[in-house]
Chain A
């Protein structure tokens, strides 16, 4: 009789634990699948970044392994953007300029969130206007979506555009500094100037 009760209690506990586990899984799935993601915090170990496979502005297939051993300064934007993206890419260029020789350990990367218009050729002519080592990355809609997700980048076509040609994109404007094993080190939010960015990078070199 006593044994039966212990078995019953054990079963109830096991059921409760399973429920907690299922709820936890559902909750974590809900959080990761949510399209709205707040900008990351620098405190603690942030889970930003991950493997990716895209095409660079010379047409070569690249992955996170291509940049192994280097620091990367990553910005997501699009070439049809005349206001925010050039400002941010120029800030990255200027920040690396301020670091002098130390900047050789850092590869600046520009990932498009508009692969529909940003072809390899388009990326090539665009990156030429900024840092001499700036790498432009594009890919399929799915590849871009996957990479943006691991970097917690939100992007979408703006609702109010002329159908056909002139759509604009809304997108997160964050610059990430990743370490030699593609690990997240820090981020720079929009409005960070070149001096602040250079100082922020230098701390990690």
Chain B
């Protein structure tokens, strides 16, 4: 009985691990390469990244991102201006028909603020994305180190 339970845990554990980081599709929007950076405790924000591809014929918008771990989540963009990095909110990200929008370090990123639990390296987390036309989807993200770069 005990080994049976262990097997069940293992199977579900492996299943859970495999799904984090995998691409998901909602309507015409494909979300690929999702991942997050480990946060430094709970009083510093965490960052998350993914790639959005609009496979449809009409433009769509990412209207909201929420996380069960963060009270406030927003899309930010880091812009380099003569060597100076400036970060600002980039609400309602537009994904034009047939186009790809990539969130990656040093550019667009999801900023998760006021965390109620830390994002720990090696774990997984989820983000709830809502698109104007494609609707809602939950994305599972593997958590890499605090200074990790994009996965291949």
Contact = CB atoms under 8 A, between A and B. Distances in A.
A185 interface: no
Given A80-B45, A87-B105, A129-B40, A170 B147 contact: no
A168 B78 CA distance: 11
Interface majority SS (helix, strand, loop, mixed), chain A = loop
Interface of B: 37-41, 44-47, 72, 76, 78, 80, 82-89, 105-106, 109, 111, 113-114, 145-149
B83 A39 contact: yes
Interface residues of A, number: 31
A129 B118 CA distance: 14
A173 B80 contact: yes
A82 B46 contact: yes
Contacts of B80: 173, 190
A8 interface: no
A201 interface: no
A82 B45 contact: yes
A140 interface: no
A67 interface: no
B129 to A, nearest CB: 19
Contacts of A80: 44-45
B83 A90 contact: no
Contacts of A191: 106
Contacts of B78: 83-84
Contact of A170 (B47, B84, B106, B114): B84
Contacts of A129: 38, 40, 145-147
Interface string A70-89: 00000000011111101101
Contact of B87 (A86, A90, A130, A168): A168
A166 interface: yes
A158 interface: yes
A172 interface: yes
Given A39-B82, A166-B114, 16 more contacts: A81-B87, A82-B46, A83-B78, A84-B78, A90-B149, A125-B41, A129-B38, A130-B146, A154-B84, A166-B113, A168-B87, A170-B86, A172-B85, A174-B83, A190-B80, A190-B83
Given A38-B83, A90-B147, A190-B80, A82 B89 contact: no
A29 interface: no
Nearest to A165: B114
Contact of A82 (B37, B82, B86): B37
A87 B83 contact: no
A89 B147 contact: yes
The 8 lowest CB-CB distance pairs between A and B, nearest first, are A90-B147, A39-B83, A82-B47, A86-B147, A170-B86, A87-B105, A129-B146, A173-B85
A67 B109 CA distance: 36
A158 B88 contact: yes
A66 interface: no
Contacts of B47: 82-83, 86
